[in-house]
Amino acid sequence: MNNLPNLIFIMTDHQRADSIGMTQLGTNGRPIPVCPTLNQLAEEGIYFPRTYTTCPLCVPARTALATGKYPTRNGVVFNDWQGERAEDHLTIHQILYESGYDIAHIGVDHIQVMPSLKERINFAKWIDKFDHQRYLKDIGLTDPTIKKKSTFKRPIRENHLGRYVKKAYSNTFCSVWNGSAKHFKDSYFCQQAINFLKSQTKKNQPFALFLYLWAPHPPFWVPEPYQTLFPPEQIELPCNINKVSMGEPKNRRHGIAAQLAEDLTEDEWRQVWSAHLGLVRLADDGLSKVIHALKQTDQFDHSLIVYTSDHGDHLGQHRMYQKMEMYEQAICVPTIIRSPDGVSKRLEEPISHLDLMPTILDLLDCNVPDDLDGRSLFPIIAKGQQMPDQSVYCQYSGNPKLGDIRRAIIRRRYKYIYDPNDRPELYDLQQDPMEMINRAGDTDFFNIQQELHQDLKSWSQKHGDWLQFDEIS
């Protein structure tokens, strides 16, 4: 066996940080863990419950993580961006490939670089959604979300450069997929990952498996037993479902997330939560099988396992749905690093998604480029150093064109959100973890608001942001 550790990198889509450790009542009225595999992995590894995405949108978040640079630096700021596509920025895949690793990409392909990720290196295995569609066709099944797009879409009006245009996004419609769970997209991806792991036992070469799962991204066409695993009537909802924070900027009600949540009742949100958590559990069960395969092939203790999600989902909190805003439900994601040396700890300080790339490269003893925006957590993980209190940042610039713009800075206690077209937001996360009281403009919070505003302004200017910041009066 080679001396370099392998890498297993797993990323889900729309998974919230609070799914780890969460329980909900099952059909028998007894509590069921939503993520039993992740719960165990969090106990065995380093668990970061306050990891923040760089952007509450799929493609910018994933491209930023892959390049180690914020969206305004790598040029990928929306999902459908057709301008600069991170062409001058190396991805972690390339660095590992050049370090002698076999690289596998299995799952959704939402990393927008040019040339494309697939063209940049010779992948040992490449599987994406089109392979799954061909697989379904071969066994006589279809992906219903392709043929019945209108069923799963809700029309909204979206800000494009100050002009509102008609668009449509995944709605809250929930139904049962008539195929077996083993044929579901993420089950297929996990099985392909297992096949790759087994094939690597014949080689004396380190490998990096990037497993990009789709769950729990809507639309909610969920296979059994996951559709009914968490009965809607038993779901315990957060206290701020369908509630708007005091002092919420008016622009928030015009945003995509607020429009997608209009007119939904608590009972309807229970159905959404039931489907969402069912998909989270499906992904968790897939992860369990991948870990089992690692152990069966004697690769578990020789592999660095990293788990995270691109962003979260409001699921009715703040009367919002999906992502595209800066509240905790949308930007705080689960993150676990399990290293071969078995270090386990829980670190409560905020970290950025962009800290993962330099940390992974350090842990694998690979060269770390000096132009990355994140910082390596290697000293904390491997040497036991204390986590310093740091600021982390998040950007949102609209989708698929410049529209609703948000910038956020998050510290251990406070979060400040800047909107160039409306009043800012300031939340005391210690006293108000649900972010229901906007303290921006409060006399008692003026100094911290001023400090965070200036910090965010200075940071943005250093990271290629075109946004002009007004001064606080």
Torsions phi, psi of 129, nearest 5? -65, -30
- Interior angle at CA 167, CA 255 and CA 169, nearest 5: 75
Q: Tell me the C-alpha distance between 58 and 316, whole Å.
A: 19
186-195, 295-304, 463-472: segment of lowest average pLDDT: 463-472
Q: Tell me the C-alpha distance between 300 and 294, whole Å.
A: 5
Report cis status (omega within 30 of 0) of the bond before 369: no
- Tell me 242's DSSP state: T
> Under a CB-based contact definition with an 8 Å cutoff, are residues 165 and 408 in contact?
no
Three-state DSSP at 16 gives coil
Q: Tell me the C-alpha distance between 347 and 389, whole Å.
A: 11
DSSP H or E stretch at residue 153? strand 153-160
Q: Each residue of 374-404: pLDDT tens digit?
A: 999 999 888 777 887 789 999 999 876 677 8
Q: What is the DSSP string of 33-80?
A: ES-HHHHHHHHHSEE-TTEE-S-SSHHHHHHHHHHTS-HHHHS--STT
Q: Tell me the C-alpha distance between 113 and 134, whole Å.
A: 25
167-176, 229-238, 305-314: segment of lowest average pLDDT: 167-176
102-106, 107-111, 391-395: segment of lowest average pLDDT: 107-111
Q: What confidence score (pLDDT) does residue 471 get? A: 81
Q: Return the amino acid letter for 63.
A: T
Q: What is the mean pLDDT of residues 224-249?
A: 96
User: What's 6-140+179-249+264-387's CATH class?
Assistant: alpha beta
Q: Tell me the C-alpha distance between 93 and 280, whole Å.
A: 26
Contacts of 296 (CB under 8 A, 6+ apart): none
Contacts of 36 (CB under 8 A, 6+ apart): 284, 288
Q: Return the amino acid letter for 377.
A: L
Evaluate if residue 9 carries a pLDDT over 90.
yes
Q: What confidence score (pLDDT) does residue 149 get? A: 61
Q: Tell me the C-alpha distance between 380 and 374, whole Å.
A: 14
Q: Each residue of 91-102: pLDDT tens digit?
A: 999 999 999 999
The structural domains of the chain, with segments of one domain joined by +, span 6-140+179-249+264-387
Quote the strand ranges of 287-434, DSSP E: 303-309, 332-333, 336-338, 345-346, 351-352, 392-396, 406-410, 414-418, 425-428
Question: pTM for the full model?
Answer: 0.95
144-158, 169-183, 201-215, 279-293: segment of lowest average pLDDT: 144-158
Q: Tell me the C-alpha distance between 231 and 225, whole Å.
A: 11
158-172, 232-246, 304-318, 333-347: segment of lowest average pLDDT: 158-172
CA atoms within 13 A on the CB side of 140: 2
Q: How many residues does the chain have?
A: 473
The maximal CA–CA distance of the chain, rounded, in angstroms, is: 66
Contacts of 58 (CB under 8 A, 6+ apart): 13, 79, 110, 217, 310, 311
Query: What is the share, in percent, of the chain residues with pLDDT greater than 90?
Result: 74
Q: What confidence score (pLDDT) does residue 86 get? A: 62
Q: What confidence score (pLDDT) does residue 139 get? A: 93
Q: What confidence score (pLDDT) does residue 384 get? A: 76
421-443: burial string, b at 16+ Cβ within 10 Å, e else: ebebbbbbbeeeebbbebbbeee
Distances (CA, A) of 27 to 192, 232, 274, 365: 32, 10, 12, 48
Q: What confidence score (pLDDT) does residue 193 get? A: 98
How would residue 465 be classed by pLDDT, with cut points 50, 70 and 90?
confident
> Under a CB-based contact definition with an 8 Å cutoff, are residues 412 and 349 in contact?
yes
Q: Each residue of 318-345: pLDDT tens digit?
A: 999 999 999 999 999 999 999 998 889 9
Q: What is the mean pLDDT of residues 38-45?
A: 97
Mean pLDDT of the chain: 92
Distances (CA, A) of 48 to 139, 283, 330, 350: 41, 19, 16, 8
